[in-house]
Amino acid sequence: MKVSAARRTELQHEVTPSTPTEDGRALPVTCSREDAAWIHETLRRAGLPATISRRLVLLLLRKHPVRHMSPEQLCAAMTRLPDATGISTFRRAIHELAHLNLLARIFVPSSGSGINFYELPDHPAHAHFYCTECRRIEEIHDDPLISLQNRRLLRHGLTPNALVQTAWVGLCAACQADGAIDISAR
Ligand SMILES: [Zn+2]
Ligand SMILES: [Zn+2]
């Protein structure tokens, strides 16, 4: 029986969590048959060919233990996958998927020109907080806060795009307990 290139790639992804990489470390993500079907369906509904780059972006954001990832983190994780592809094509796929609302973007107004993080838009509406010490994004699930913010904006005739957000910046509870000082305020 002939196996198509797309199916061969799916099969390659059907690895167990303990599958080692060449340097002996476990792969950071695995792709089950269900994940592969979801990825194909997501791209099909968006009318996009299921290129390897698009599939890897969706796979990483669906399966990587870190939910919110910057392009740099995504690229680093991608290069360790069995089907690693070119960095520039992969970066283009990230921006393209975000542009088509298949990804949500969280902008962190940090030093320099800021940092973008991406996630799948599959959680209920939430806000984000970026810790300048441990550099992690925390989700804030607080319906009254979100609806108050949206109501106030609507009163000004403004409709926020839920898939593009700016994060609050400061120190998370754990870093405050460790005595960290927010250098972003200086
Ligand atoms: Zn922290
Ligand atoms: Zn989030």
Which ligand is closest in space to the CA of residue 119? Answer: 2
Residue 31 φ then ψ, to 5°: -125, 115
What pairing do the DSSP bridges indicate for beta strands 168-170 and 164-166?
Answer: unpaired
Q: Please, which pLDDT band fits residue 17 given cuts at 50, 70 and 90?
A: very low
117-159 pLDDT tens trace: 999 999 899 999 999 999 999 999 999 999 999 999 999 999 9
- Report CA(139)–ligand 2 centroid distance (Å): 5
Which ligand is closest in space to the CA of residue 135? Answer: 1
- Report CA(123)–ligand 2 centroid distance (Å): 7
In angstroms, the CA 8 to CA 162 distance is 36
What's the confidence (pLDDT) of residue 113? 85
- Report CA(175)–ligand 1 centroid distance (Å): 4
- Domains of the chain, CATH where assigned: 5-99 (1.10.10), 105-185 (3.30.1490.190)
At 92, list the tokens.
């283009």
96-113 pLDDT tens trace: 999 999 999 999 997 778
- Rounded to an integer, the average pLDDT of 20-28 is 47
- Rounded to an integer, the average pLDDT of 34-43 is 95
What percentage of the chain carries pLDDT values higher than 90?
A: 69
Instruction: Provide the strand spans (E) within the chain.
Output: 104-108, 115-119, 127-131, 137-140, 164-166, 168-170
- Rounded to an integer, the average pLDDT of 27-41 is 87
CB 20 within 8 A of CB 38: no
What percentage of the chain carries pLDDT values higher than 70?
A: 83
Query: pTM above 0.75?
Result: yes
